């Protein structure tokens, strides 16, 4: 008897409330300061509006099949589902999509150690940065202008290790922390003397080329002192060895 009652109830519900079908193919695109949603209407059905749910809560209702959510904070993930609504009621939810928009994060791409300083250099994708904040061992060292891409820390002691990372500062807030590099200031008695044997020869050229190839820390490899070990330093080293200039 009970089972029959339930069967009849379900049948009645199916007949009385033919819910609309849910939206199809919900996709998410993260753009600066916003999240863009797009979906397809259920085929062959008249839909009056779509309800947008964010993290389980009703966010908005619209007639169109796309939506831009501007009330999103950077570097926080949001999950969305959409339902179809018409005179018959509300559909079950669409597929769920999740996404976040992130403030571009700087990347420390190289560093050079000197006996009295550590030089770091970074890159960031082209964007509107207000400043960069430099951190050493978790403490704020200072901030630099948005066009600057390097920092030289002179407040170091030889043989101590220092770890650096940074954030980009935007109107919208701070980016996540960049990668971290750790370096030990090292005394360089003779620029170009990569193996510290007191003289410059062809072995130093080979070692300095390896410094470039393996992007490794070579205290005496930056002959022209521009914070970057590259082919110009090799040329200068060759000139020093051959007596050129
Ligand atoms: Ca040498
Ligand atoms: Ca150089």
CA dist., res. 24 & res. 19, Å (int): 15
Question: Nearest ligand to the C-alpha of residue 189?
Answer: 1
Both tokens of residue 17?
């409330």
* Gap from CA of 5 to ligand 2 centroid (Å): 85
Residue 26 confidence (pLDDT): 98
Q: Which strands make up the sheet holding 34-40, listed edge to edge?
A: 24-31, 34-40, 66-69
Distance 224 CA to ligand 2 centre (A): 5
- Residue 51 covered by a domain: yes
pLDDT of res. 12:
47
Sites in the chain below the pLDDT cut of 50: 1, 5, 10-15
What integer pLDDT is reported at residue 188 of this predicted model?
A: 79
Q: How far is the CA of 79 from the centre of ligand 2 (A)?
A: 48
Count Cα atoms within 13 angstroms, Cβ side, for 190: 14
Nearest bound ligand to the CA of residue 218: 2
- pTM (2 decimals)? 0.65
Q: What is the CATH number of the domain that holds 126?
A: 2.60.40.10
> Considering 187, 206, 229, which residue would you say is the last residue of a domain?
187
Span from the CA of 43 to the centroid of ligand 2 (angstroms): 64
Q: How many residues does the chain have?
A: 245
Q: What distance in angstroms lies between residue 191's CA and the mean position of ligand 1's atoms?
A: 9
Q: 138 with 89, same domain?
A: no
Centre of ligand 1 to C-alpha 119, Å, is 23
User: Among 99, 118, 142, where does a domain finish?
Assistant: 99
In a domain, 46, yes or no: yes
In the numeric block, the tokens 């650096």 are attached to: 164
- Rounded to the nearest whole angstrom, what is the distance from the C-alpha of residue 130 to the centroid of ligand 2? 28
Report which of 137, 106, 134, 109 is spatially closest to residue 121, judged by C-alpha positions: 109
- Condensed to tens digits (0 to 9), the pLDDT of residues 111-130 reads 877 778 888 999 998 778 89
Digit-coded pLDDT (tens) for 35-86: 999 999 999 999 999 999 999 999 999 999 999 999 999 999 999 999 999 9
Among candidate residues 99, 118, 151, the one where a domain is terminated: 99
Dist. CA 84 → ligand 2 center (Å)? 62
* Parent domain of 109: 103-187
> Which residues are within 5 Å of ligand 1 (an ion), measured at CB?
193, 195, 197, 204
Torsion of CA 206, 208, 210, 212, to 10 degrees: -140
Count of domains for the chain? 3
Closest of 218, 223, 230, 215 to residue 108, by C-alpha: 215
100 close to 30: Cβ distance less than 8 angstroms: yes
Same domain, 154 and 220: no
Between the CA of 230 and the centroid of ligand 2 the distance, in Å, is 6
């Amino acid at each position: 008897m009970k089972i029959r009652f339930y069967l009849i109830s379900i049948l009645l519900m199916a007949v009385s409330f033919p819910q609309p079908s849910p939206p199809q193919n919900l996709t998410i695109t993260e753009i600066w300061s916003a999240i863009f949603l797009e979906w397809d209407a259920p085929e062959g059905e008249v839909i009056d509006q779509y309800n947008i749910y964010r993290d389980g809560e009703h966010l908005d209702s619209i007639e169109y099949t796309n939506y831009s959510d501007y009330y999103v904070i950077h570097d926080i993930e949001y999950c969305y589902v959409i339902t179809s609504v018409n005179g018959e009621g509300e559909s079950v939810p669409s597929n769920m999509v999740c996404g976040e928009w992130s403030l571009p994060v700087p990347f420390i791409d190289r560093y050079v150690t000197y006996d009295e300083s550590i030089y770091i250099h970074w890159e960031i994708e082209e964007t509107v940065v207000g400043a960069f904040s430099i951190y050493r061992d978790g403490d704020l060292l200072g901030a630099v202008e948005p066009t600057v891409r390097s920092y030289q820390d002179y407040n170091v002691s030889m043989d101590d290790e220092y770890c650096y990372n940074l954030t980009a500062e935007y109107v919208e807030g701070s980016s996540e922390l960049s990668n971290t590099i750790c370096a030990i200031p090292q005394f360089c008695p003779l620029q170009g003397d990569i193996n510290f044997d007191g003289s410059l020869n062809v072995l130093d050229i080979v070692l300095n080329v390896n410094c470039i190839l393996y992007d490794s820390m070579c205290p005496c490899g930056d002959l022209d002192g521009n914070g970057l070990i590259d082919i110009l330093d090799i040329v200068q080293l060759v000139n020093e060895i051959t007596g050129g200039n």
